[in-house]
Structure formats: structure tokens, C-alpha cells
Amino acid sequence: MPRSHIPHLADPSTIEPYNDDGVLQVVIETPKNSRLKYAFDHERRVIILKKILPAGMVFPYDFGFVPSTLAPDGDPIDVLVLMDEPAFPGVVLDTRILGVIRGEDQLPSGEKQRNDRLVGVAEAAHAFAELKTIDDLPQQLLDHMGEFFVQYPQLLGGKTYKLLGLAGPDEANHLIEEARQNA
């Protein structure tokens, strides 16, 4: 078969945000404990290496996006997924949403842009299976997540992230619905 006729991999950014059972689907870009920041390139329909985090800094949990959504920052809505072991870039995790870390980026131009990050638990997770809302997470874990999102852009340069607070699953689901309508 000529190369031009070989089918491409499926584009995970175009699947529905919810599976047939109504469970949120999250496409993982960067696995837990990785210094390598991967991102899905929507034009080429492949996962690319976007950045390398500074020595000693890793993603605290799996990081990905909700497909078929568009957040105010121009990308699909971000999700930090809690799971026992790291996932793999491109894998789709069925995820239960716990809430949202509200935040905004301050761009080099001085402009502010909302950049909320949802927090969820992979349905397959054992260690986090009992969690129902973001309020069930220990404060130390929430502080660690927040600090990661503040420190990561500062160390890479270019923009500053400001934490605006936390909200539960109702607000997170509202953000998903808005992002679906914007896609």
C-alpha cells in the first residue's frame, strides 16, 4: 500500500468529552513524574515534545485535556488527573471530576487570561477511589498542586500564574460545558 494511503492514528482531540456511560474522557499529554512537557499538536495530529522542565521539577500527576472543548486560553480545557501510576501520552482516561483550581496567566504584555485547571481522579485509580470533591484532598496536596502551577511558568519564563482559589465539581462541570460550546 502506498504511504499516502496508510490511515493516520485517530485524533483524540475530536472524541466526545463524555463516553457512552457519561464519564468524562481526558486525553493525557504529560505523565506523572515527567520532566518532559508533551502537548497534542492539533494541526499535525500528533503528540510533540513542547518543553523540558528544569532539573528537579516534574509534573505531580498526569496532565491532559478534555477533548472537543476550548477554554479561554485558546486550548482545550486542562485537567490534572490523580492516579496510582503514570499514564502514557495519548491515552484516554475515564475521569471523575473533583473540582477546579481557578487561576489566571499574566502574559508578558501585561494582559490577564483565565487558565483554570480541572482536577479529577481516574476511574481506574485505587489510592484516590474514595475522593468525591476537591475538598476531600489534603491541604498539603492542594498546596503542592497550586505551587506547581505557579512555579512552572515562572521557571520557564514568559508568563506568571496567579491562583484565584478552588471550586468543586459543579463549577468544574460548568466550565466543561462552556468549553464544549466554545469548541
* Domain annotation for the chain: domains and CATH numbers: 18-182 (3.90.80.10)
Under the banding of pLDDT at 50, 70 and 90, the label for residue 7 is low
Under the banding of pLDDT at 50, 70 and 90, the label for residue 1 is very low
Q: What is the mean pLDDT of residues 144-161?
A: 86
| DSSP labels, 21-65 | TS-EEEEEEE-TT-SEEEEEETTTTEEEEEEEPPTT---SSEEEE
What global pTM score does this model have?
0.92
7-16, 93-102, 133-142, 157-166: the lowest-pLDDT one? 7-16
Given a cut of 60, whether residue 3 has pLDDT beyond it is no
